[in-house]
């Protein structure tokens, strides 16, 4: 089968943009391989899960069924951190539930920074390590297996900045699109109406930040009031909210005051 034939079939199924991404990633494609891809596309599998990569903040990240695909909304965290620390000589970062490692890697590629990605999925941790290696960040970033629900998961007072895109979808929420259902459930869903991860992080992350350090949290639509309340009750000082390109409040920033 020629690439032109494959491109035409894929265009009919998913559009020219998706077809181009797949053909560029797989320049040699058998008829059976094409049949498999078409079945995946018709089942709603995101193209990133087929070609195993996704661009994020101008960087190419490997992704798999064990990781949440990087999303444009999450670039809001990177923008916020870079905006606040662009003049800093150096910062140390912890990325809670790092997945592919896209957030901490994007930051470390743009300013002087090092740090740790914390991940409780061994399979996701392997993906993060691969991306760190592929991006040449092995001397700056490491990945630690652990759960941000555990107070001893990271060393005390070690970081200037903490970032996180935790699971925040309430279990049973019918608004989850088909593509997201191919991401790992542990990266999507949280108990307590989607607030459980924020409760754990608000409780434990104060121990890991230096005094005056900041935490940058991604949130879902209309979750800002609930998350701000959780962090204030845990002794954090609210700094600001940051909107994504769709004018949705996507990131909340808190300061650790001891």
Reported as a single tens digit per residue, the pLDDT across 171-226 is: 777 566 666 777 888 888 888 989 999 999 999 999 999 999 999 999 999 999 99
Which CATH number does the domain housing residue 127 bear?
3.40.50.150
- Its pTM stands at 0.93
Please report the pLDDT score of residue 176 as a whole number.
65
166 lies in the same domain as 90: yes
85 contacts 108 by C-beta, under 8 angstroms? no
172 lies in the same domain as 237: yes
In total, the chain counts a number of residues equal to: 258
203 contacts 231 by C-beta, under 8 angstroms? no
Provide the pairing of β-strand 141-145 with 59-62: unpaired
Domain-embedded: residue 54: no
Domain-embedded: residue 58: no
Q: Name the region of 21 (left: φ>0; alpha: ψ -120 to 50; beta: rest).
A: alpha
Please report the pLDDT score of residue 178 as a whole number.
60
36 lies in the same domain as 138: no
Q: Taking residues 230-245, what's their average pLDDT?
A: 97
96 lies in the same domain as 25: no
75 contacts 56 by C-beta, under 8 angstroms? yes
Domain-embedded: residue 52: no
Full residue range of the structural domain in which residue 151 is found: 72-255
148 lies in the same domain as 244: yes
Question: Does the pLDDT value for residue 87 go beyond 80?
Answer: yes
Question: Does the pLDDT value for residue 157 go beyond 70?
Answer: yes
Residues 6+ apart with CB under 8 A from 223: 168, 194, 195
Report angle CA 187, 191, 197 to the nearest 5 degrees: 60
198 lies in the same domain as 142: yes
37 lies in the same domain as 99: no
Please report the pLDDT score of residue 175 as a whole number.
62
Domain-embedded: residue 49: no
Q: Specify the number of domains making up the chain.
A: 2
13 lies in the same domain as 125: no
135 lies in the same domain as 180: yes
243 lies in the same domain as 130: yes
Neighbours of 155 (CB within 10 A): 12
Band (pLDDT 50/70/90 cuts) for residue 30 is: confident
Q: Taking residues 80-96, what's their average pLDDT?
A: 97
14 lies in the same domain as 104: no
Domain-embedded: residue 212: yes
């Amino acid at each position: 089968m020629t690439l032109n034939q494959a491109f035409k079939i894929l265009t009919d199924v998913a559009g020219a943009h998706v077809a181009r991404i797949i053909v560029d990633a797989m320049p040699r494609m058998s008829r059976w391989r094409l049949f498999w891809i078409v079945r995946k596309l018709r089942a709603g599998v995101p193209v990133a899960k087929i070609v195993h990569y996704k661009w994020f903040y101008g960087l190419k990240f490997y992704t798999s069924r064990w990781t949440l695909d990087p999303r444009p909304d999450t670039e809001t965290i990177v923008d916020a951190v870079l905006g606040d620390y662009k003049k800093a000589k150096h910062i140390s970062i912890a990325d809670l539930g790092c997945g592919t490692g896209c957030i901490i890697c994007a930051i470390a590629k743009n300013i002087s920074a090092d740090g740790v990605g914390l991940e409780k999925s061994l399979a996701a941790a392997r993906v993060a390590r691969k991306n760190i290696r592929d991006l040449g960040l092995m001397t700056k970033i490491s990945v630690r297996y652990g759960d941000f629900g555990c107070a001893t998961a990271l060393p005390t007072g070690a970081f200037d900045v903490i970032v996180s895109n935790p699971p925040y979808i309430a279990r049973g929420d019918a608004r989850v699109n088909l593509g997201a259902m191919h991401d790992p459930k542990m990266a999507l869903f949280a108990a307590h109406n989607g607030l459980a991860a924020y409760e754990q992080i608000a409780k434990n992350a104060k121990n890991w930040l230096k005094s005056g350090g900041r935490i940058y949290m991604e949130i879902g639509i209309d979750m800002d009031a609930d998350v701000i309340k959780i962090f204030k009750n845990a002794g954090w000082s609210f700094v600001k909210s940051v909107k994504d390109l769709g004018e949705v409040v996507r990131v909340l920033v808190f300061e650790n005051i001891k």
